[in-house]
């Protein structure tokens, strides 16, 4: 599991990058919804640095969180995996499954169930399972919120599913616009325990994307793949 076009770097390399930026008169902009630093000049962006979730950004520098807590949700049609992490270690998890969509029909079938599909018995069963599926996920997440001081909530979910998820009778412990709710910048093939473990490891590291000009400007040891100049969302 990797962030597209990004290289994983050490905290020392990340600090060296910021030192270089400072010498060039560049000030990083912190984007809380991505827990990311953005370096840019008048011509466009140069570097995007994803910070480890075990640190916090304060006044142009970072500090280690003394006791970091975070939770991840991987959500797909009919399958979900949630987990609670403490100091980078996965301490609790649960995988949910439900018969909520017809094969190959996905989210469009969920929408159909909530509008025109209530007349058939099979559709009513899938609709009930869909509703309970989201409720059980949020009950688990609320138990984490009640028990631990969660610093970040991470979510991997198709945007088309957000209205159905957030409309659950049991609300999640976060809102769609909450600052510490972060959409994971990776493709998750399936909502499984294995993918949950990988996602937890990924957010514990620093990841760097350099533009073409950024590659020329910054000397980063052990470079991997870099992105071309552009207006990438991530």
Q: Binning pLDDT at 50, 70 and 90, where does residue 225 land?
A: very low
Please, where in the chain does CATH 3.30.420.60 lie? 69-202
pLDDT tens digits, one per residue of 55-82:
999 877 899 999 999 999 999 988 999 9
The predicted pLDDT at position 161 comes to: 87
Q: How is the chain split among helix, strand and coil, in percent rounded to 5?
A: 30, 30, 40
Select from 3.30.420.60, 3.30.2270.10, 3.30.160.270, 3.40.190.10 the CATH code of 69-202.
3.30.420.60
The predicted pLDDT at position 131 comes to: 87
The predicted pLDDT at position 112 comes to: 56
Contact indicator for 58, 155 with CB cutoff of 8 Å: no
On average, the pLDDT of the chain sits at 86
Please, where in the chain does CATH 3.30.310 lie? 7-52+205-217
C-alpha to C-alpha distance for 174 and 181, rounded to whole angstroms: 7
pLDDT tens digits, one per residue of 125-165:
667 778 899 999 999 999 999 999 999 999 999 888 898 89
pTM of the model: 0.84
Secondary structure, 3-state, 140-205: HHHHHHHHCCCCEEEEECCHHHHHHHHCCCCCCCCCCCCCCEEECCCCCCCCCHHHHHHHHHHCCC
C-alpha to C-alpha distance for 76 and 109, rounded to whole angstroms: 13
* Range scoring the smallest mean pLDDT among 30-34, 103-107, 127-131: 103-107
The predicted pLDDT at position 60 comes to: 74
C-alpha to C-alpha distance for 166 and 172, rounded to whole angstroms: 7
Continuous segment of H or E residues that includes residue 128: helix 121-147
CATH topology of domain 7-52+205-217: TATA-Binding Protein (3.30.310)
C-alpha to C-alpha distance for 212 and 81, rounded to whole angstroms: 37
């Amino acid at each position: 599991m990797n962030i597209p076009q990004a290289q994983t770097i050490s905290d020392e390399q990340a600090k060296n990058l910021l030192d270089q930026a400072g010498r060039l008169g560049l000030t990083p902009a912190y984007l809380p919804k991505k827990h990311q630093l953005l370096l840019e000049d008048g011509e466009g962006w140069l570097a995007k640095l994803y910070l480890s979730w075990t640190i916090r950004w304060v006044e142009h520098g970072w500090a280690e969180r003394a006791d970091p807590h975070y939770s991840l949700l991987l959500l797909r049609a009919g399958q979900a995996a949630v987990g609670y992490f403490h100091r980078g270690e996965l301490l609790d998890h649960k995988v949910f499954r439900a018969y909520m969509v017809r094969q190959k029909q996905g989210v469009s079938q969920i929408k159909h169930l909530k509008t025109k599909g209530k007349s058939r018995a099979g559709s009513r069963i899938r609709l009930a399972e869909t509703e309970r599926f989201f409720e059980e996920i949020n009950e688990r997440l609320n138990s984490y919120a009640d028990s631990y001081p969660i610093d970040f909530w991470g979510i991997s979910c198709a945007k088309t599913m957000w209205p159905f998820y957030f409309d659950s009778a049991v609300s999640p412990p976060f809102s769609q616009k909450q600052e510490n709710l972060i959409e994971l910048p990776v493709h998750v093939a399936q909502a499984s325990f294995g993918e949950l473990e990988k996602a937890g490891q990924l957010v514990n590291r620093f990841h760097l994307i350099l533009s073409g000009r950024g590659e020329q400007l910054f000397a980063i040891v052990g470079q991997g793949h870099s992105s071309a100049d552009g207006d990438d969302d991530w």
